[in-house]
A and B are shown apart, each in its own frame.
Chain A
Amino acid sequence: MSAQDILVLAEVNQDAVADITFELLGGARELAGATGGQVVAVLLGHDVAKHAESLSAADRLIVIDDEQLADFSPAPYLAVLESLVGSEGPRAVLAGSTTIGLDVAPMLGAKLNAPVVNACQQVAVEGDLLKITAAICGGKVLAEVEVSASPAVLLILPGSFRPTEETGAATVESRPSPVELHRGAVTFEKMILPAPGDVDITQQDVLVAVGRGIQQEDNMKVAEELAAVLGGELAASRPIIDQGWLPTTRQVGKSGMIVKPKCFIALGVSGAPEHVEGMKDSELIIAVNTDPGAPIFDVADYGVVADLLDVAPALTEAIK
C-alpha cells in the first residue's frame, strides 16, 4: 500500500474479464512506472477468483468475493470501493468509461472528495501532478487538465491504452467485503442477450454504417442499397439505434459490437470515441462526412467531405 499506487477497477462481463480491464492494466503499468508505486487491481464479484490468473499483470490483485456482488448494482460496488480506496490511498483510480464505471466512479470521487475526470485518453505523471488529456464533445475537443489531489478518479475511454500482454505474478489477496453489504433498492433480475435471428455484424466482410448524417429514417434506403450491391450488411452508430431505426444488434461501438470487417464504409458517422473503438481495426475504412473536421477521418483510409445522400447513390450506381 503506497500513496503512489495505481488502482484499477477490473470488470467481468458475461463471465470473462472485459477488454477494457487489460487496457487499464497497461496504462496503470506505465503510470506506476512513473510514480514508483504498484499496480493494484480490484475485482469485485462472487465466484470470480477463477479470473485471477488473467489479471496477473497487476502487482497485487484484491478479490472481494460476496454474494451481494454477484451481479452489478451500483450501491454495493460503491460501498466496497469507498472503503477499499480509502484504506489503500492510491495516487489514482482507473475505471473504464463503461456501463459499470460510469455508474460508480463519479460517486466514488464525490464520496472521497476526490477529483474526477471523464473521457480520459492520456494520463501522465509530472511530479506531484497528473496531466490528463480528455476527449469531450464527441472527440471534437481535447481538454488538457491537471490534478494535484490524490486519489484522482479517472474514467478512461476504451482504446486509450495499449492492453497489457504481460503475465506477471500478482499477489492475490482474497478478502471478504470490508463493509457489510445488503440487498439494496436496485436488484439484478436477469441478463437479456440479443435474440438470435438478426445478422451478426461481427461476422460480415462488408459493413455500411450509418450515423447522424443520414438525417431521417427514409434516407436509410440509400445505405441499404449500397450495402446490397456490396453484399454487405447495415450497421450504425448509437444515435441511429437510439432512434429505433436499427436494432441494438447493429450498433458498432464500445458498448455495442466490436467489428473488424474487410471493408467498413462510414456514412455520416462523426467518429465519436465510443464508435471508433468498435470499428478502428477494420481492414479498409472509407468515410463520407460533410464535416472536414470529423474525427472519423482520423481512422479512415479514404475520406470524402460531402453529403452521403449524394455520394452513396453515386457509389451504388458506379458499382452496379
Chain B
Amino acid sequence: MNIAVVVRQVPDLVEPLEIDASGAALDVDEVEFLINETDDHALEQALLLKESGGGSITVVAIDFGQVDDVLYTAAAKGADRIVKIPYDDDDRPPRPAEAAAMIAEAVKDIDAELVLVGSSAHDELEGVLAPLLALKLELPYLGVIRGVKPGEGGSVTAFKEFPGAAMAQMNVKLPAVLGILAADQPPRYVPVSRIRAAMKSTEFEEKETAAAVPEPNVTVLRMHHPEPSGRAEMLTGSEDEVAARLAEILKEKGVVQ
C-alpha cells in the first residue's frame, strides 16, 4: 500500500508561548516547535501498516519551523520518500485551508492509496487541516481515528473514537484520507545515531506548489494568555511541608481517615 503521511510543526506547550508585537499572533521566534502529536501517530500508523502489508511511505511537510528535524526522524523510522513544500513566510505558520491547498497539490503526484494526517493540531484556529485536505483531494474522509487495520478488497478498517471509551468500527474503501488521533501503538523511539545516519543518506524532494491560496475570512484581533481565575489556593514550601498540608486537607475533607 502506498501511504502518504502529512506532518506539521506545532508550538511545544511545555515552553512559554509569547505573543508577538502585533498582539494577534504567537511570536514564532520565541516558540519551540515540535511535531504535531497526532501527526506523529499518523506516521506510526503508516509504519505499522507498511510492516504488516508492505508498500511505501511518503512523508509530506510544509517547510516551516524546524521541520527538517522531524523529516530526518521520519526517514530514520522508515519513511521511504520525503517531500518538502517550500513556504516563504517565516513569521506565521500556514492556516489550515492554506496548508490543505498546498499539501493537496503535492499529494496528488504521489498516487497514494491512503493519506494519513493527524486529525487535529492544538494551534488550529481557522478550520482543521485533515478534512480540508480530503476535500481538496476529492477523497473520502474519516477522522478522530484510534487505529487502522488492513482490510480486504482495497479497504481498511478504521476505529473512530466516540465518547465513553466507545469506538465505531468503520470500513473505508481506498483511496481515502484518515485523520489519526492515535496509532495502534505509541510512536516508536528512534536512536539519535539512526537520525544522524538518515541526515547523511536522506534527500528531500522539493515540491513547489502553485496552489491558489484562499483568502482569510476570519480576523484575529488579539491573542493573550487567559487570566488566572485565582480559584486555587496555592500551597508553597518544601515537598514535605506541602505534602503534610495536603494530607491535612484530605483528612479535613474526609477523603482519608
Give the B-binding residues of A (Cβ under 8 A). Answer: 13-14, 18, 71-75, 98-99, 102-104, 106-107, 109-111, 113-119, 134-149, 184-194, 205-206, 212, 229-230, 239, 241-244, 247-249, 251, 254-257, 262-263, 270, 272, 283-284, 286-287, 291, 293, 295, 297-306, 310-311, 314-315, 317-319
In the complex the two chains form, is A293's CB within 8 Å of B166's CB? no
The CA of A191 and the CA of B159, in the complex, are separated in Å by 9
B85 CB–A CB distance under 8 Å:
no
In the complex the two chains form, is B120's CB within 8 Å of A102's CB? yes
In the complex the two chains form, is B144's CB within 8 Å of A116's CB? no
Question: In the complex, given contacts A189-B169, A191-B167, what are 14 additional A-B residue pairs having Cβ atoms less than 8 angstroms apart?
Answer: A99-B160, A107-B141, A114-B217, A140-B225, A185-B176, A191-B169, A192-B168, A230-B255, A256-B164, A262-B254, A293-B225, A311-B239, A318-B240, A318-B244
Q: How far is the CB of A295 from chain B (nearest CB, A)?
A: 7
B212 CB–A CB distance under 8 Å:
no
What 1/0 mask marks residues of chain B from 164 to 183 whose CB sits below 8 Å from any chain A CB?
11111111111010010110
Listed by A's residue number, 13 A-B pairs whose Cβ atoms lie within 8 Å are: A72-B160, A74-B131, A74-B142, A98-B163, A140-B17, A141-B224, A145-B219, A185-B176, A194-B164, A242-B41, A256-B165, A318-B240, A318-B244
In the complex the two chains form, is B232's CB within 8 Å of A192's CB? no
In the complex the two chains form, is B143's CB within 8 Å of A145's CB? no
Question: Which B residues touch A212, using CB under 8 A?
Answer: 14
In the complex the two chains form, is B221's CB within 8 Å of A263's CB? no
In the complex the two chains form, is A244's CB within 8 Å of B186's CB? yes
B: interface residue count bin:
35 or more
In the complex the two chains form, is A293's CB within 8 Å of B228's CB? yes
In the complex the two chains form, is A302's CB within 8 Å of B249's CB? yes
What 1/0 mask marks residues of chain B from 2 to 18 whose CB sits below 8 Å from any chain A CB?
00000000010110110
Which of B13, B165, B256 contacts A140 (CB under 8 A)?
B13
B200 CB–A CB distance under 8 Å:
no
In the complex the two chains form, is A141's CB within 8 Å of B135's CB? no
In the complex the two chains form, is A300's CB within 8 Å of B246's CB? no
In the complex the two chains form, is B11's CB within 8 Å of A137's CB? yes
Q: A186-B176, A188-B168 are in contact. Are A102 and B186 (CB under 8 A)?
A: no
B218 CB–A CB distance under 8 Å:
yes
Q: A102-B120, A106-B132, A248-B165 are in contact. Are A188 and B170 (CB under 8 A)?
A: yes
In the complex the two chains form, is B218's CB within 8 Å of A298's CB? no
Main DSSP-derived SS at the B contact region: mixed
Q: How far is the CB of A45 from chain B (nearest CB, A)?
A: 14
In the complex the two chains form, is A302's CB within 8 Å of B233's CB? yes
The CA of A242 and the CA of B217, in the complex, are separated in Å by 34
In the complex the two chains form, is B171's CB within 8 Å of A14's CB? no
7 tightest A-B CB contacts, nearest first:
A314-B243, A303-B232, A185-B140, A318-B247, A185-B173, A298-B229, A300-B232
Number of A-B contacts defined by CB within 8 Å: 279
Give the A-binding residues of B (Cβ under 8 A). Answer: 11, 13-14, 16-17, 19, 26, 37, 41, 96-97, 119-120, 122-128, 131-132, 134-135, 140-144, 146, 157, 159-174, 176, 179, 181-182, 185-186, 217-226, 228-229, 231-236, 239-240, 242-244, 246-247, 249-250, 253-256
The CA of A105 and the CA of B174, in the complex, are separated in Å by 23
In the complex the two chains form, is A145's CB within 8 Å of B225's CB? no
Question: Which A residues touch B168, using CB under 8 A?
Answer: 71-72, 188-192
Q: How far is the CB of B240 from chain A (nearest CB, A)?
A: 5
In the complex the two chains form, is A145's CB within 8 Å of B125's CB? yes
In the complex the two chains form, is A102's CB within 8 Å of B165's CB? no
Q: A187-B170, A192-B166 are in contact. Are A147 and B219 (CB under 8 A)?
A: yes
Question: Which A residues touch B249, using CB under 8 A?
Answer: 284, 286, 302
In the complex the two chains form, is B246's CB within 8 Å of A284's CB? no
The CA of A241 and the CA of B179, in the complex, are separated in Å by 18
In the complex the two chains form, is A136's CB within 8 Å of B225's CB? no
Instruction: Identify the interface centre among A140, A184, A272: most chain B CB within 10 Å of its CB.
Output: A140
Question: Which A residues touch B97, using CB under 8 A?
Answer: 110
Instruction: Identify the interface centre among B160, B176, B222: most chain A CB within 10 Å of its CB.
Output: B160
In the complex the two chains form, is A136's CB within 8 Å of B246's CB? no
The CA of A102 and the CA of B16, in the complex, are separated in Å by 28
The CA of A266 and the CA of B174, in the complex, are separated in Å by 42
In the complex the two chains form, is A300's CB within 8 Å of B128's CB? no
The CA of A137 and the CA of B243, in the complex, are separated in Å by 31
Question: Which B residues touch A191, using CB under 8 A?
Answer: 162, 166-169
Q: A136-B122, A188-B168, A249-B165 are in contact. Are A111 and B135 (CB under 8 A)?
A: yes
Which of B157, B242, B247 contacts A306 (CB under 8 A)?
B242
In the complex the two chains form, is B231's CB within 8 Å of A102's CB? no
Question: Which A residues touch B140, using CB under 8 A?
Answer: 74-75, 184-186
In the complex the two chains form, is A13's CB within 8 Å of B162's CB? yes
